[in-house]
Amino acid sequence: METKEFDENDAISFIRNYVPSEIKNKYSDDDILLLIDTMFDYFEKGDDDEILYDDDVEDEYNINEVVNYVKKNLRKDPDNQIDVDDIKYLVEGELEYENTLDED
C-alpha cells in the first residue's frame, strides 16, 4: 500500500467538500490552515496519536479530544476566525482527508 503525501491545498479542498454547505465557504484557506496546524500541534505532543487512528478503538471519544484541544487553543489565537460550533466539522474533515492518504 502506497501512502500519499499530505498536501495543504488538497486538504483544504477536501475539508471544504466534507463540511456542511453553510460552512463550506465561510472560512479562508488561512483559517483552515490555522486549524490544521493546531491539530498537528496536538499530534506532535503525542496525545493518543496511535489510538486516534486505531480502527479497534471508539473514534468518537478520540475525535472529541482533538476537537477540545483545537477549541481550547484557537480561543487563545488572536488570528482565529473559526466559530467554535464549526470546529468539529472541520476537524472531522481533516481526519477524513488523512484517511484518504493511506488508501490505494
Tens digits of residue pLDDT in 8-20: 999 999 999 999 9
Residue 54's pLDDT is what?
44
Q: Is residue 92 part of a domain?
A: yes
pLDDT at 2 over 80: no
58-66 contacts at long range (C-beta below 8 A, 24 or more positions apart): 63/88, 63/91, 63/92, 63/95, 66/39, 66/42, 66/91, 66/95
pLDDT at 63 over 80: yes
pTM of the model: 0.81
Number of domains composing the chain: 1
Residue 43's pLDDT is what?
84
Specify the higher pLDDT residue, 39 or 103: 39
Q: Is residue 69 part of a domain?
A: yes
Domain extent for 48:
28-101
Phi, psi of 28 (to 5 degrees): -75, 165
Q: Is residue 75 part of a domain?
A: yes
